[in-house]
């Protein structure tokens, strides 16, 4: 152990941090971000929109910060939020802390450039990973890091997330959004099961497989084609599209998905499409990032690479 690491008292060596303070509980960065956004906008809802979080999350984070400091940081009235004297005193400190962290992040990224992309797990397995080498080549020396998630919420609360691919309708006004492709749905199952489906109406006797609760995907396809007698919510519900497609490939029922996300299984014959109709359900896949990161050359390169590979 070196000499600096032993200095835990107020007289610690220059350039070191007293280790005794490391045991103190400090507010989280998410609470500090929520505080700054609420102070700027004077509104929980506007702060939540800017941070791409829910209003409930921002409200709880501010309450947590007030609980930590044991004081009110805002007064709450009909006109919105206003900083208290304690809030005004805290604001320049938080500004300095966040600014120092952002500056250091930018310095470290320039030293070892990394681009972190959060992707839905099925999208990553079925579409992104087969093209990963091409995407990495487009980024040159910048390392592309992939984080998978079953959550489609575009939450940039984690400081290391540069961009997120999400499935949705495109309504994210506080973010830079690039449309990748529209989702089209069609049933998929094993060839043996497909041979027993002589018509769309016979889906009523088959086990339907769902990529999530609610049956919205099956309902969209059935209603668009005017198929009656099939209950769209019936069947098995899975956490992700990939689990649903795996179950379909094992003969457990009929899945519904975008053929692009089942391309390998369709190509090797473990799945087939018993009907030719594909239905646009109004959802699309988008690449999202905060406006300040949209100007990053690596982000431009990633966006261009993804758009070039769409359809391949």
Write the pLDDT tens digit of every residue in 191-226: 999 999 989 999 999 999 999 999 999 999 999 999
- Return the pLDDT at 3: 41
Average pLDDT of every residue of the chain = 89
In this model, does residue 19 exceed pLDDT 90?
A: no
Does the global pTM surpass 0.85?
no
Q: Give 142's contacts (C-beta < 8 A, 6+ positions apart).
A: 113, 114, 115, 298, 301
- The values of phi and psi at residue 309, to 5°, are -90, -10
Render the burial of 38-62: b for 16+ CB within 10 Å, e for the rest.
Answer: bbebebbebbbbbbbbeeebbbebb
**What is the DSSP secondary structure assignment for residue 9, as one 8-state letter?**
S
DSSP class of 207: P
**Residue 311 confidence class, pLDDT cut points 50, 70, 90:** low
Which DSSP string corresponds to 17-86?
A: --GGGGGS----HHHHHHHHHHHHHS-HHHHHHHHT--HHHHHHHHHHHHHHHTS--EEEETTEEEE-HH
Question: Which whole number is the average pLDDT over 24-37?
Answer: 92
Average pLDDT for residues 254-278, to the nearest whole number? 95
* Cα–Cα distance list, 159 to 46, 51, 238 (Å): 20, 12, 30
Reported confidence tier of residue 81, pLDDT bands at 50, 70, 90: very high
254 and 226 Cβ atoms separated by less than 8 Å: no
Which pLDDT score, from 0 to 100, does residue 28 have?
A: 92
Report CA 201 to chain centroid distance, whole Å. 37
Q: Which residues pair with 181 in a beta bridge?
A: 285
Closest Cα partner for 235 from 214, 258, 261, 221?
A: 214
Q: Give the contacts of 121 (CB within 8 A, at least 6 positions apart).
A: 148, 149, 150, 240, 242
Q: Which two tokens stand for residue 216?
A: 């919205």
Query: Of all residues in the chain, what percent carry a pLDDT higher than 90?
Result: 66
What are the pLDDT digits (tens) for 85-136?
999 999 999 999 999 988 887 776 666 688 999 999 889 999 999 999 999 9
Non-local (6+) Cβ contacts of 96 within 8 A are none
Q: Which of 167, 169, 112, 123 is closest to 146 using CA atoms? A: 123
What does the block give as tokens for 15?
């350039």
The answer to whether the beta carbons of residues 259 and 273 sit under 8 Å apart is yes
Residue 16 confidence class, pLDDT cut points 50, 70, 90: confident
Q: Are 165 and 123 in contact (CB under 8 A)?
A: yes
């Amino acid at each position: 152990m070196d000499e600096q690491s032993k200095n835990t008292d107020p007289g610690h060596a220059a350039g070191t941090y007293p280790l005794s303070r490391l045991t103190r509980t400090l507010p989280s960065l998410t609470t500090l971000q929520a505080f700054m956004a609420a102070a700027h906008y004077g509104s929980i809802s506007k702060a939540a929109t800017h941070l791409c979080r829910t209003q409930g999350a921002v409200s709880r984070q501010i309450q947590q910060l007030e609980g930590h400091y044991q004081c009110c940081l805002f007064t709450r009235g009909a006109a919105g939020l206003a900083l208290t004297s304690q809030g005004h005193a805290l604001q320049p400190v938080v500004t300095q802390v966040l600014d120092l962290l952002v500056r250091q992040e930018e310095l470290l990224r320039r030293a070892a450039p990394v681009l972190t992309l959060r992707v839905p797990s099925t999208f990553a397995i079925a579409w992104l990973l087969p093209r990963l080498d091409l995407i990495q080549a487009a980024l040159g020396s910048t390392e592309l890091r992939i984080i998978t998630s079953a959550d489609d919420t575009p939450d940039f609360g984690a400081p290391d997330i540069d961009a997120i691919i999400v499935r949705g309708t495109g309504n994210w006004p506080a973010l830079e959004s690039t449309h990748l492709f529209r989702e089209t749905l069609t049933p998929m199952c094993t060839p043996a099961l497909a041979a027993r489906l002589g018509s769309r109406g016979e889906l009523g006797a088959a086990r339907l497989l769902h990529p999530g609760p609610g049956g919205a995907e099956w309902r969209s396809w059935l209603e668009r084609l005017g198929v009656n007698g099939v209950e769209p919510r019936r069947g098995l519900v899975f956490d992700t599209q990939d689990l649903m497609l795996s179950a379909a490939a094992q003969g457990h029922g009929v899945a519904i998905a975008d053929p692009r996300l089942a391309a390998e299984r369709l190509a090797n014959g473990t799945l087939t499409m018993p009907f030719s109709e594909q239905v646009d359900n109004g959802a699309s896949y988008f690449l999202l990032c905060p406006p300040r990161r949209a100007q990053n050359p690596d982000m431009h390169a990633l966006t261009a690479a993804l758009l070039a590979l769409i359809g391949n």
